[in-house]
Amino acid sequence: MRLIAAIMTLVALAAAAVAGQKLHLALTTSPAQSKGVTAANAALAEPATATRQDLSFRWASVFGELQAPTLYQEPQPTEITDEQAAPAPTGPPIEALGYALKGVVRAGRSVWGMVSHPTGDQVVRVGDDLAQGVTVRKIDEAGLWIDNGGEELILLGFATEG
């Protein structure tokens, strides 16, 4: 049994030596080029001279004719008059935000408003923000006066049961 193992080891060693020698020959010798590769390399060596007429013939005029590049020029700022100026955007309508006034609390000179919203109730005072861009400007017996970025204040009054 040991004799067979020794013989097989020598056969495997010889096969590895032959494979290593073939690999060495493959890496050290330059590969022979085929005739097709030589012809392609010769065709690339010739300068390609294409005229403008040839280019327009090859390309469809879907995108127009080839134009020379132009230099970039900074855009000139235009003066905006009062008539052209867009009005300042206003915030969202208060009805769309889902707020409702539940009550007003007055303690001495301090006044708070209790506001209900689907996400939860909150107590606000003058200057607090209900939402982004929606600020409480005044609280009185009529309700909360809210500034949503418009020209005039919007009243968030008490909900009437009907």
Q: What is the pLDDT of residues 124-146, one digit of tens each?
A: 999 888 888 888 898 888 888 88
- pLDDT class for 32, splitting at 50, 70, 90? low
pTM score above 0.85:
no
pLDDT band at 17 (very low <50, low <70, confident <90, very high): very high
Band of the pLDDT at 149, cuts 50, 70, 90? confident
Confidence band, pLDDT 50/70/90 cuts, at residue 39: low
Q: Domain 94-157 carries which CATH code?
A: 2.30.30.830
Q: Name the nearest CA neighbour of 124 among 108, 146, 142.
A: 146
Q: Which neighbouring-strand residues pair with 110?
A: 107
Q: Is pLDDT at 7 greater than 80 in this prediction?
A: yes
- Residue 55: partners with Cβ closer than 8 Å, 6 or more residues away: 66
pLDDT at 50 over 60: no
Residue 144 CB neighbour total at 10 angstroms: 28
**Assigned token pair, 124:** 């606000």
